[in-house]
Each structure stands twice: as structure tokens, then as C-alpha cells.
Amino acid sequence: MLRTPAERQKLTMSERLYYQNSFLTTFAATVSDIREVARGEGESLWQVALDRTAFYPESGGQPCDTGVLSATSRGGAELDVAVESVEENEHGEVWHLVRKPLAAGTHVEGQIDWERRFDHMQQHTGQHLLSAVFLRELQAQTVSFHLGESISTIDLACGPLAQHSLERVERLANEIIAEDRPVTLRQIERAEAEAMLASGELRKLPERNGKIRLIEIADCDRNACGGTHVRSTGQIGGLLVRGVEKVSRGVRVEFVCGLRAVKTARADAATLSKATAALSVGAADLPAAVERLISEAKTNAKERQRLREELAAYHAARLAVEVPIANGLRLVMRSWKDRDRDYVKLLASRTAATSAETVAIFCAEEADPTRVVVARSMDLDFDCGRLLREALTELGLRGGGSPDLAQGEVPARLAPGLCTSLAESIRQTVGARATQASQRDEDAIRRRIP
Ligand SMILES: [Zn+2]
């Protein structure tokens, strides 16, 4: 059946039962529309609209509800369909995501996942309370908030917060929770809400038309809000501020409420307990123990580097002695499987520095690709960087460096061939220069002969 967009919207606009009663967990409804939203691997995803729903769609910083829609077929078979997510679109339609189709006109019984919903209600009402106390105590306005699956945050427009200020806000919020103040709901006309906004009784108003839903925490806060809330502050169950970080617009405060605060504290305690066991210290001594470890690690790293430098110097001297000078060149070629790349590079540079007319072509084979390093002593004048770059370019690879030290990476199977060809180029270059030099010397001698 083809419908005009207006007819379709009228059909899919559902009565939102949670607006009046956030504690409603089951309800009866009729499927008003269904649409297929994705298909693949023998399964389809569907969205169904209901004439009325207690499922909260993800909006206003609060995650959606999940749950079940149950239907009975004409033959009497019971069908339970999981609602995996719920969303609303810009027309205010609420769509329930399911993996089994439910035809329009089907009568269903909806059941929301209460544990999840109540947790969201605690975090959400806790956010109203925390924002109100930050505003009252520190004149810090909440500019946005996010209720996540595990943590919740509010962003405040303010400068850095002192630890004692944070603790005071947390204590005051928990005092209001302990006082169990009523959290009430009332609907007012938009004109009245606009008058409240003008007089400062309301801080913000949603842009949409129609009646405005006001949520009030007695003697504490008043907000225009479409979310789900607990009935009294006592049901928030407790509020824990877990951390603060600087963000571009101000400060982000992480908090948890109710049973989630208990679960988070338990997880934190487990993490702490693992760390204290690993370091064999009490919880109070953990920060000092970690600082000591960091300091020791820094000292050890410095000492290790000093020893590597010293080792490389001895190692280089031994390598240079092993290879005699031939045709004006001491060409040392080695490769290691058990030395890291940084050490091999250091060793190449130290070997080239041991004496004149010396070149090192070293390979670190600890991983594939192999790292190839070429280094030369300062008296030689060919360009290591250019030589290696040209050789690698021929293989379709990249690498290079300075005239006296260059490095590149090459697949392990190509490394021996590359090193041989580098050695050959270097011998030719150095050999040709030596010939030119001796020719120049001879010419000079001849010119001096009278
Ligand atoms: Zn709210």
C-alpha cells in the first residue's frame, strides 16, 4: 500500500509512554509500520514503529533502551523478538531495530530491559543534579553531557578546578541524594516556558514546538528535558566523581551514579590490587613505588646506552683489525641476526670512525626486511646516501641518508645481492679516485723536473 509522507508520518508517530511514566517496563501496542533497513548473509534487519512505546530512543545524550517485543501468531505460537536499538528521526518517529519482521497491525507486548534503563535513569538524573551543584557552587555552566555505556561526562565552561572544589561539589551532590528530594515532572505550554526563560527560572529551551516537559529536583534544579529520570534523588543512589580533564571549551568531569558507581569502584579496586601485588607494596605506597620504578628505568636506560656505546667502540675496533686495507680501502661487511637495528647502525658508524680508508656495510637481520647500513670514514669522499638510494631505487625500494652514513630496508632474500653490488660500486669509486690521485702526483712530479 502506497502512502503519502504525511500519512506515513501520522501512522508512525507513536505515543511515548515513558514521558508520563519512566517506571513503565511492559506495555501493549500495535505495529503501525515496518521497513527493511539492511540485508546480508541470509538475514535482514528491520525497523518497526508502534502506536505507543515505552522504549526510549537514543537522544539528548542518553543511550536507547533495549528489550523484547512478544507477539502471538494466528496459530497460537509465541514469538519473542529482541529489540537491539531504538532511534528517532527528525520527524519524531520512533523505530525499533529487530531481526524478525513483525507485520503492521500485529499486537505486541513490549518489555524493556529494566536494569539497563534504571541505570540510565540514575546517570541521567545524577547529571541534572551534578550540573546544578556545579552551577550553584562554582558558577560553572554545563555546556554538554554524554551518558556512555560505562562512563558519563559533563563538559563545564570554566577554568581548571581545584581538587577541594571538586570534592565539595561531590559531597554536596551526595547530601542532596541522601535528603531524598522529590524529582517531579510537569508539562507546561511553550509560552509559559518562554516567560520562565526570560525571567531566568529556566536556562535553556528545546527548539521544538508543543508542550514543554519540565523536570524539577526540589529546591535544586529545573530543566526542560525529554529523558527518563528517577522519582527522587535517593534513587540516584550515590554519585562518584572519577576524574577531570581539560577540553577545548573548558573542563570535562567524569562521574558515575548508583550501582554503576559501586561496579566502577570495584573494578578500580581490582586494578589497584593487581598493581600492589605485582609491586609487593600497600595501596598507599603505590604512587611512590611507581615513581621509583620510572626513575630507575630512566637511569637504567641511560646506563644501557652508555654500555652500548662502549661495547660498539670495542666491537668496531675488533672488526676493523680483522679486515686489512686492499687497494686503498678497508671494506668491512657483516650481518647479524641477534643484534637490534639501532646497535648495528651505531656499530657501522663507530667502525667507519676507527681509521682512515674504512667503509662498513652492515645488515641487521633480526626481522625481515633486513636493515642495511653503509658508513664511511671522513677521509673518503663518496656519498653513502646517494649510493644506497640509487641501489635501492633499482630494486623499487627507498632509503638514503647523509654522505657518511645511510640506511635502508630490503627484503631479506635481496640483502646479500644488494650488499655485493654496493661493495663493488664503492671499490670502483675509491679505486678510480686513487688512480686519478696517483696520476695527479706523477704529473706534479714531472712539472717539477727542469
Ligand atoms: Zn533529563
Q: Ligand 1 centroid vs 203 CA: distance in angstroms?
A: 13
Full residue range of the structural domain in which residue 55 is found: 5-112
Within a domain: residue 9?
yes
In this structure, the answer to whether residues 134 and 108 fall within a common structural domain is no
Q: Which of 64, 88, 112 is the last residue of a domain?
A: 112
pLDDT at 185: 93
Within a domain: residue 158?
yes
Within a domain: residue 389?
yes
Rg (alpha carbons) of the chain, rounded to whole number: 37
Tell me the CA distances in angstroms from 86 to 6, 68, 73, 114, 293, one per residue in order.
22, 12, 24, 15, 49
Within a domain: residue 323?
yes
In this structure, the answer to whether residues 122 and 269 fall within a common structural domain is yes
pLDDT at 94: 94
Q: Ligand 1 centroid vs 214 CA: distance in angstroms?
A: 9
Q: Ligand 1 centroid vs 65 CA: distance in angstroms?
A: 15
CATH assignment of the domain containing 36:
2.40.30.130
Total domains, the chain:
3
pLDDT in tens, 264-321: 999 999 999 999 999 999 999 999 999 999 999 999 999 999 999 999 999 999 999 9
In this structure, the answer to whether residues 126 and 238 fall within a common structural domain is yes
pLDDT in tens, 320-367: 999 999 988 999 999 999 999 999 999 999 999 999 999 999 999 999
Within a domain: residue 304?
no
In this structure, the answer to whether residues 269 and 127 fall within a common structural domain is yes
Within a domain: residue 85?
yes
Per-residue pLDDT of the chain (450 residues; tens, 9 = 90+): 455 655 555 556 789 999 889 999 999 999 999 999 988 888 889 999 999 999 999 987 889 999 999 998 778 889 999 999 999 988 888 999 999 999 999 999 999 999 999 999 999 999 999 999 999 999 999 999 999 888 899 999 999 999 999 999 999 999 999 999 999 999 999 889 989 989 888 888 887 778 899 999 999 999 999 899 999 999 999 999 999 999 998 999 999 999 999 999 999 999 999 999 999 999 999 999 999 999 999 999 999 999 999 999 999 999 999 999 998 899 999 999 999 999 999 999 999 999 999 999 999 999 999 999 999 999 999 999 999 999 999 999 988 899 999 999 999 999 999 999 999 999 998 887 767 766 666 666 566 655
In this structure, the answer to whether residues 14 and 123 fall within a common structural domain is no
CATH assignment of the domain containing 247:
3.30.980.10
Q: Ligand 1 centroid vs 334 CA: distance in angstroms?
A: 70
In this structure, the answer to whether residues 140 and 257 fall within a common structural domain is yes
In this structure, the answer to whether residues 106 and 128 fall within a common structural domain is no
Q: Ligand 1 centroid vs 215 CA: distance in angstroms?
A: 7
Q: Ligand 1 centroid vs 121 CA: distance in angstroms?
A: 9
Q: Ligand 1 centroid vs 227 CA: distance in angstroms?
A: 5
In this structure, the answer to whether residues 123 and 108 fall within a common structural domain is no
Q: Ligand 1 centroid vs 399 CA: distance in angstroms?
A: 59
In this structure, the answer to whether residues 330 and 431 fall within a common structural domain is yes
Q: Ligand 1 centroid vs 202 CA: distance in angstroms?
A: 13
In this structure, the answer to whether residues 250 and 330 fall within a common structural domain is no
Q: Which of 54, 88, 112 is the last residue of a domain?
A: 112
Q: Which of 112, 135, 159 is the last residue of a domain?
A: 112
Within a domain: residue 301?
no
Q: Ligand 1 centroid vs 31 CA: distance in angstroms?
A: 28
Within a domain: residue 362?
yes
| Residue partners of 271: CB distance under 8 A and separation at least 6 | none
Q: Ligand 1 centroid vs 421 CA: distance in angstroms?
A: 73
How far is the C-alpha of 69 from the C-alpha of 29, rounded, in Å?
A: 9
In this structure, the answer to whether residues 103 and 178 fall within a common structural domain is no
Q: Ligand 1 centroid vs 145 CA: distance in angstroms?
A: 11
In this structure, the answer to whether residues 247 and 106 fall within a common structural domain is no
